[in-house]
């Protein structure tokens, strides 16, 4: 049973380290985009900031155009 415990430990560490990329689409966005969205947060009610931030980043992610991909 030690093998399974060790495997579970490694999987758990991996999920904590990289899980946000699986559950948070905006995790792939550049830091500059996230920082810019954070600049908007002072005008949002404190209790709504996290939800609004998440929604804005989700919309940006859906329509994000990566400059490294050339258009036809």
| Per-residue pLDDT tens digits for 22-62 | 666 677 788 899 999 999 999 999 999 999 998 998 888 88
The pLDDT value recorded for residue 1 is 58
pLDDT, average across residues 17-22: 63
| Token pair listed for 44 | 């949002």
CB neighbours of 55 closer than 8 A, spacing ≥ 6?
Answer: none
Question: Which sequence spans correspond to the domains of the chain?
Answer: 28-64
Cite the DSSP H helix spans in 24-64: 31-40, 49-63
What is the tally of helices (H) and strands (E) in the chain?
3, 0
| Token pair listed for 2 | 């030690």
């Amino acid at each position: 049973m030690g093998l399974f415990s060790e495997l579970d430990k490694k999987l758990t560490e991996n999920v904590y380290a990289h899980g946000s990329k699986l559950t948070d689409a905006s995790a792939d966005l550049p830091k500059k985009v996230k920082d810019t969205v954070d600049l908007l947060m002072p005008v949002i009610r404190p209790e709504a900031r996290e939800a609004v931030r998440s929604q804005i980043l989700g919309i940006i992610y859906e329509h994000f155009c990566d400059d490294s991909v050339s258009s036809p």
